[in-house]
Every structure is written in structure tokens, then in C-alpha cells.
Structure 1
Amino acid sequence: MTALVVGVDIGGTTTQVVLCAGDLTVADRLEVPTPAAEGGAAMVGAALDAVRLLLDRTPGRLLGVGVGAAGVVDARAGRVLVASDSFRGWAGFGVTAEVERALGVPAFLDNDVNAFLRGEAMAGAVAGEPDVLGMTLGTGVGGALWLNGALYDGPHGAAGEIGHVPGFGELPCTCGGRGHLETLASGRALAARYGERTGRAVSAREVAEAAGRGDADAVAVYEAAGAGVARAILVTAGLLDVTTFVIGGGVSRSWALIEPVIRRTLAAEPPVSGHPLRVLPAGLGGDAVAVGAAARVRAELDPHRATKGNGKVNEENQPSPTV
């Protein structure tokens, strides 16, 4: 039977589930509402129902399930540690234990931004790149590091969190700090900064639409966001000599608005190394977190497998694959 791995992206509004072959090609996908107000068991239950439906549609031998979840997670214990107030009964919930009990296969948990970067580095826009900073511009701003061909989360699990490094002004951040990139470049920040300039309460999507029409205040908000992202890129390049960056999240859908600002800022102040910086939009779209979660399964079940530049599996001198 065909060996399959599943990746799950549990977001505050929807849960994305992908069924992948061993090379991380998506065989099938399903998106379902996240019952975030009903607690951890309900959220995992909705994901499990989607997994079973996909397996009914594409029979095969399920080898494992990976889950990407928003918030702070203990990846080793498979448990959510801290979650936003939009999730009820999520902090403290044992995600992997519940999945393993229900499906009888190994399960693994990642922070959603780490899963995003793993997906893009294994099968997306930066496949095969050895060193990458991944950034997600969504409700908040998340970051993750891929170094020497592997995810690097640091000794305390917080490596790459460029969204919460000070030095981007003095505005208060949702995390309790001040002057973080999130205060400029998140969806919430775009709406808030536009509201401060105009007195109008609008969504981030409406700010993007206004900027697309040439609204001066909306354009100024995007200018500040793009300049902030570029500054974060330069800081990373200076500290780690990383020269490849991939950006995803809801705000990145307005790539045509933010990319020119990033490029102008980088051109005006190139990195100290003198090497050009590559800044790419995410290649996997809404599948990135789920594909990255599936990639975690593959890595855990067969840690000897590696990737080359095209994202395909390098099986030279390797035992027969299990995925």
C-alpha cells in the first residue's frame, strides 16, 4: 500500500489538513472550521475527522501525523504551552497524545511558524537552501530559522522570533514589550496604524485595498511595514550571515505592496557581507504549515533522509525509505 503522512495546520479560524506522499507531494487536502471556542479536544477532534475523510478518499498506509499549532508549544512533549485568548482550553492540551490514541500512529507537534519554514525549506520557495529566515506576517509576526539544512529552534525554543525583537519604534506590542516589528507589520498593526492616521476602524484587508487605490495613508502604513521587515532582514543578515528569506502569512498576500519597499530599503543599505539578499514570497500558499508538519513526520521516522535543491529526496547511500 502507498505510504502516506498527514500534516495539520490548526489555526484560529480554520484547520487545514493535507495528505502527502513520501516526497511531500500533496495527494489531497481538506479545510474545516476550527472550533476554537469549544476546547482542545474539539479542535483535535475536528482535525481527526478530516484526516479520516481524506484516508477514506485516498487509501494507503498512514505512517504518522504532524501538527502545526499557533502559540508556544513543547514540541518534545507534544503539548501546547501558551495560546491566545481566541483559543479555549488549548493551553496545556496534549495534542500528540490525543492523535496517537485516536489513530494509532506516531504524532508530532510544532509551532506553526516553525512548520511553515520547514514546509518551505523542504518543498516550497526555498527548497534545498541550507540557511533561511522564515517570517510570517499574519495576525502577529512570527519568525523561524533554518540553519545548515535543519530547523534551529535554540536552547529555549525561541530562535528566529524576529517579530519580537525591540528596535522598531516605541509602540506597545501585544506581547507586552515595546517597539517590536509586530507593531508595524502584522495585520492587526496595519489596521491600527491606519486607524491612528485616519480615525477609521477598518480591517487589514481594507487597508490593502485602500493602498492599492493609492490612498496616501494606507500607502504610508505599508511603507512603514515594508521598511520594518527590511530592517529585520538586515539584522538577521548581519548577525547570522543568512542571505535567503521567505515571507508568508496573510499580509504577504499583498506582496505587490510590500515587496517594492523591502527592496528599496535593502538597496539603500546593503548587508555588511556585501552578498545580495534573496527575499521570496512563500511558495506553498495555505499549505505551507501543514506540509511542514508532514515533513516533520518524515524527518522523525527516517532522520537520515536529506533534500537537494529541488526539494526531492536524496536517497543515495540510504537504506530503503520508510516514507
Structure 2
Amino acid sequence: MTASHPGRPTPEVYAGVDIGGTTTQVVLCTADLAVVDSVEVPTPAARGGQAMIRAALDALGLLQGRVPSRLLGVGVGAAGVVDTRTGRILVASDSFTGWAGFPVTATIEKALGVPAFLDNDVNAFLRGEVSKGAVAGEPHVLGMTLGTGVGGALWMNGTLVEGPHGAAGEIGHIPGFGELPCTCGGRGHLETLASGRSIATRYGERTGRNLTAWGVAEAAVVGDADAIAVYEAAGAGIARALLITAGLVDLATFVIGGGVSRAWELLEPPILATLAAEPPVSGQPIRVVRARLGSGGVALGAASRARTELAAATPDQAATPVQRASSPPPRR
């Protein structure tokens, strides 16, 4: 690590890690969550949990070598079902080898000697957006990610709501959107309309063409009626899910991210049209915004989690990771 200048205090930083199926992003943040440096490396998903964490630690070491600092804690956002209390991955997709059951936080704490915290990647996404993104400072928000699947997370009274079984905010699995089978085993969930996989599938069923969701978006931009129809159905479905959420928990602010949200100019018109046709019972206008932080949102949100947890901890708890107070229950 590069030596700090004599007489200058060493800055204190938090690290955020986003472990995805293809790439791992690592950021270093100051106490006010300003990103001072970041790096992206390939995720060795086929080589198991130890290799994945090693890649993240090596990337963090690279940043620490470039930025003289004292690391206070590490937050990790990971796809799949996670246990935030024990810091383990509970369920992972078949894109990962040896990831389910892996002790993420214990491995990082042993390597670095600082506290580590694990979040589901959608939770981390929402933490990032309410910290420094499109809904910064908002006390009540639902976050939605449109990717291979559709994820959701709920922020109420300035804190993440896990729910008694860890499933609060799972907007992608609200039923009532047709009869197509969902990846979770159910039928007619929002995910069957609005995920990247579903957009590609629905377009293929209409046309016989095999395109990605982004390819369908490009076709819609140049006037392909089938592509336009698929995105209109996705946008209308998203809006109906937002209206259901608004009616149940009295929310009026929603932030949408994920790869499919890159086609915002296709999604926003049907979302707004559906919301205008069926205003919520509260009478409050619904605000729907696109995420601002892009691909770095999960890592920043993970760093935010570490900062929040350590700020709430006593000095003794902060110094001894294994003696931290219990975290929230498991969460998808």
C-alpha cells in the first residue's frame, strides 16, 4: 500500500462489493459515500465461492494500493437468496458453482480484520439509490430492478423493510399478470411480463425471432410493432404492480433500475399512461423515476450498509466483528 504523507491523517473509507454472475465491482467510499476509486473484474463464478471472494479481495487490495486509507468495513451485495444475519448465501442460480452456503462475511472478516455485511443485490441497489441516487433522502420508496428476473425492495421510514420472512418488496412475484409460468414456479407473476428473459421470450413467440431484450428494444425504436407491443405490455404491467403496492402500503415514490430500464423511453410512456388511468386511492400522485447510479449502484449501496451498521454499533462491537448485534432476517 502506498504510504500516506507525514502529518496528514489517513482517510477512513468503506468498501462496497457487487458480486454478479459476470463481473465483480468494488468501490471505496468516504464517510459521506463519495466514491474515491472503483474497479471492475471478472467474476470466477465457475470456480466456487472461495475464488469469487478472492477475486473481490484482490480487487479491493488494488484500490487500497492506489488510495492510502484505513478501511472501516465492507458491504457485499450478491444475487440470490441470502441470510443477512449469518452472512451466507442460501440459494444461488446455476450460474454459480459452490456459492450456495458460502460464508461470505466470515471469509472477508478473517482476511481483512474488519466487519463485513451481506445484502441481497436488490436491497443494496435500493440502499444506493436512497443514499446518493435518484431518490436520495426519500423516507418511503419501493425499488424495482428489471434484469434477468424482476426484483424488489422496500424502504420505509428511512430503513430497509425485510418482512418477517425476508420477502418484503418482492414485487416481481405479484400474481395476476396472465398464466405464463414464472421462474419461481408460480404463474402469471409480473416477472413473466417485465424481465429481460420474458421480454425476449414474448417477442420470440410473436415473431419467431430470437433476440435479447435489448435487441427487442432496438427493434421497437425503429418501429417494429411486435417489439413495441411487448414493451407496452411490460410497462403497463409494471404500473399495475406499482398501483397494487401503493394501495397496500401507501407508497408514492418508486425507483426502477436494472438492464431492462435502459429502454426507459419505451417503458415510461405505458407506465405513465396506466398510472394516469387508475390513480391510487390515496389521491397522491405516484412518482416513478429511473435509477441514477447505473451499474455502480449495488456496490455503493453495499458500502452504505456497512457505514450504517458501523455507525449504529458500539465501539466494542465495531472492533470485534463476531460480537456484532444481530442483523435482519434472511432476505431474497
TM-score scaled by length of structure 2: 0.91
Q: Does 1:172 align with 2:165?
A: no
Which whole-Å CA distance do the structure 1 matches of 2:104 and 2:217 have between them? 36
Name the counterpart of 2:7.
none
Deviation at 1:303, TM superposition (A): 2.3
Name the counterpart of 2:316.
none
Q: How does 1:79-158 map to 2 (within 5 A)?
A: 79-158=88-167
Which whole-Å CA distance do the structure 1 matches of 2:103 and 2:124 have between them? 18
Q: Please, which of 73, 77, 91 is the counterpart of residue 64 of structure 1?
A: 73
SS in 1 for 2:304: helix
AA in 2 matched with 1:238? G
Deviation at 1:288, TM superposition (A): 0.8
Name the counterpart of 1:298.
307
Q: Please, which of 281, 289, 298 is the counterpart of residue 290 of structure 2?
A: 281
Name the counterpart of 2:45.
36
Which whole-Å CA distance do the structure 1 matches of 2:244 and 2:300 have between them? 28
Q: How does 1:201-240 map to 2 (within 5 A)?
A: 201-240=210-249
Q: Does 1:198 align with 2:220?
A: no
Name the counterpart of 1:75.
84
Percent identity of paired positions between Structure 1 and Structure 2: 75
SS in 2 for 1:302: helix
Which whole-Å CA distance do the structure 2 matches of 1:271 and 1:87 have between them? 41
Deviation at 1:175, TM superposition (A): 0.9
Deviation at 1:205, TM superposition (A): 1.4
Deviations 1:259-303 (A, max 9, x none): 111001101111111110110000111111101100000111002
AA in 1 matched with 2:110? R
Which sections of structure 1, spanning at least 5 residues, go unmatched?
Answer: 305-323
AA in 2 matched with 1:102? A
SS in 2 for 1:264: helix
Deviation at 1:102, TM superposition (A): 1.0
Deviation at 1:123, TM superposition (A): 1.2
Deviation at 1:149, TM superposition (A): 0.4
AA in 1 matched with 2:227? A
TM-score scaled by length of structure 1: 0.93
Name the counterpart of 2:3.
none
Name the counterpart of 2:259.
250
AA in 2 matched with 1:101? K
Runs of 4+ in structure 1 over 4 Å off: none
SS in 1 for 2:312: coil
Which whole-Å CA distance do the structure 1 matches of 2:165 and 2:37 have between them? 35
